[in-house]
Structure 1
């Protein structure tokens, strides 16, 4: 795609508008008046390559930047009641999938929260739910599990390794203790290193380490120190996340460092510049150490085993996703659905309590229907945010049209900003290095007017 000479420069945009890990976002979901039955929703869906996601909404602490659906601690046997409800939900969902055609799971993941908040015995029970109730063969498919330094204990890791875990992802964020405290993440580097040693001892094939850039006081030198500390463990994957301060999180409650619109604008611009600079430093450092870039955030060691073919950074967001747990999403081709969503701790506790008291999981309660236009947007967005880009022939085969014809204004805008790779082979729509760096501005630019309006009308809780 080309831009003619004399095209006026597009207006400036902030590079960090929103991290797009799912589309439409949960804040666009609403209570479903028809409460469709799961059996009807899944009746015509392909079931030979489903993904399974089990959500555990508990953490030992809540980091200052976190807006995930999770609560601190689990008093009064709450984990037992939660796993009881998860089993009831699994039975209901598996019944809804039916046996008219083969049901097969091609991938599985445990997320949260922190799944390893559960004890070793509870993790065994969680695996049994996936295998004995849902029918997923955890030893035969990729299984990814999230953990934290405090909960990556030897007994828990032994269970996960025994049950077929192929990838463990640990949120470190920073190896510099002062930066961890600035992000309201209480941890010591010594504890992080000990946890990483236990993970490597467990011999789980793929280790992913999450790091964050843009923390208050972070410099290029301290960022490189964290990167080198992570590289010392030769992780198969690294995710580099820009820091966000989202509403209702701990960092947001601390308030802005400055007041007044002009001062805030200057501070925001300086923070954007810091994050862009640290992103480039991190990207170049990893590329020079034998890693390949998969997306803006994901980097894989070039000799690391591949869990699956095709897009991986967003692979869990494809159609055919079965989510179990009160923070999990499920995706059919026509409807994305889940339970209610919140960030504020009191609201999260209330939703978890309602989930554990639920007996009938046979209907979808909250969600958003996905029409043909939204399906096109989602496919373009998810594919374009991958470093490999979007083969136009794949898009044409699925939808019968071309992305350039469906989204001319959006793609022309990206080209005008230099976000599209003009050197990409014919038939491949791919981001330039600048485009990848601006993924968090590019992704939201593809949101439909309807999704934007629903997200804007969402009442935060």
Structure 2
């Protein structure tokens, strides 16, 4: 390879492909849900319900969420969610078995809802969609301010198996720097309430790269989290996005500042990774670490590379084998409010208006990307069985480049394509290297709003 320039380690947070900024309004006539799902396998679906409300908008946040919910907005939102769920379940039909293998409530902050509203959300999942929440893994996101005993009791009773809390930092000065004001005592109290529920998996989210953060303060947060022996820990790099709170105050000399910031974030990532590995955790991906002695949750046969996703709510994505779709996307608060209001007023959810078609080449890219970014790697035989070709023949330039950069594990067992520790560290630089030219062009043409 002639170009061995190492990409920046933090180019883009890659968690789904194609990215939502590559979605576009679909031409008329908009495809119907029933036609899209008619011939899809539906025996291992995933359900995701999106609740787009938070008590505060963090300075780093570019999620589809708004602060507060005036004028009974949560009631109207759940009414719309109920209508959407009814329409979606009818579109799935009963010609073939419909079964959900996993479920998640995210946002936003699902526990922004009251305890009664959380009960209603669970009812929608069970009575409208047919998900047996007590029989499948159910993950729910929460925050220190909203992890109240009554809300957590509902989630525990309705079958939650994983509660994920966004702490970000146990150091109060760092939380303020990230525009996430919170008291350490309140965080600890929330963690205590979560542990009291007996829900088997506690996940704590932490962020590195905050202004003023050092190895010493980073270790302080890591050790504070480890005190609770969470079954999972996610270590997220801080990103500054356009139209977010921190994005508006980014320095003028962006390029120089970004290079320095990259070096600092990479240093903190390695420190955090090594600290967790030394304290009984295994690395699952660049971000996710799991306690080695944590009990398994039981069978989970959903595979993100191949199985379908049903998204409910105006910020959720849905995936069929041929189309990824959602509602409109925005980061600016005024635009988000407008989209949420339009969603709550909608009566007809039978057609898809925004999305991106996924052809055979894009399916190959997605499979490789989502498999390779996991620490366990990708069995080459599984790829060959699904696509009838080799990843080395389909992506010769990309994989040769990764190998030359030292990102592939030369000691991986035969037949396993796996990232090296350095490759995992560069996941957010490696992932975008696998984006197709068409998706890159669509993302570049997207105008933030």
Under a length normalisation based on structure 1, what TM-score does the superposition of the two structures give?
0.95
Separation in 1 of the partners of 2:72 and 2:215? 45
Shift of 1:198: 0.3
Gaps of 5+ in 2: none
Corresponding residue SS for 1:54? strand
CA contact (8 A) 1:89 1:324 kept: yes
Matches within 5 A, 1:108-127: 108-127=103-122
Shift of 1:400: 0.6
Choose the corresponding residue for 1:449, options 408, 416, 437.
437
Shift of 1:11: 1.4
Match of 1:296 in 2: 286
Separation in 1 of the partners of 2:289 and 2:223? 14
Match of 1:60 in 2: 55
Match of 1:14 in 2: 8
The 1:322–1:329 alpha-carbon spacing in structure 2 relative to 1, beyond 3 Å, is same
Choose the corresponding residue for 1:221, options 179, 199, 216.
216
Matches within 5 A, 1:41-440: 41-256=36-251, 259-260=252-253, 264-307=254-297, 319-440=307-428
CA contact (8 A) 1:153 1:195 kept: yes
CA contact (8 A) 2:44 2:307 kept: no
Gaps of 5+ in 1: 1-6
CA contact (8 A) 2:44 2:301 kept: no
Separation in 2 of the partners of 1:342 and 1:331? 20
Corresponding residue SS for 2:246? helix
Asked whether 1:30 is paired with 2:24, we answer yes
Corresponding residue SS for 2:307? coil
Q: How many residues align?
A: 448
Separation in 2 of the partners of 1:431 and 1:254? 35
Q: Deviations over 1:387-422 (max 9, x none)?
A: 000100000010010100000000011011100011
Shift of 1:266: 2.9
Separation in 1 of the partners of 2:219 and 2:293? 22
Corresponding residue SS for 2:350? coil
The 1:354–1:318 alpha-carbon spacing in structure 2 relative to 1, beyond 3 Å, is farther
Corresponding residue SS for 2:78? helix
Separation in 2 of the partners of 1:89 and 1:265? 44
Separation in 2 of the partners of 1:126 and 1:140? 17
Separation in 1 of the partners of 2:301 and 2:282? 14
Q: Deviations over 1:142-184 (max 9, x none)?
A: 0000000000000000000000000000000000000000000
CA contact (8 A) 1:59 1:113 kept: yes
Shift of 1:366: 0.3
Q: Deviations over 1:397-452 (max 9, x none)?
A: 10010100000000011011100011111111000010000000000000000000
Corresponding residue SS for 2:48? strand
CA contact (8 A) 2:43 2:97 kept: yes
CA contact (8 A) 2:136 2:300 kept: no
The 1:226–1:251 alpha-carbon spacing in structure 2 relative to 1, beyond 3 Å, is same
The 1:161–1:188 alpha-carbon spacing in structure 2 relative to 1, beyond 3 Å, is same
CA contact (8 A) 2:24 2:356 kept: yes
Q: Deviations over 1:19-38 (max 9, x none)?
A: 11110000000011131000
Under a length normalisation based on structure 2, what TM-score does the superposition of the two structures give?
0.98
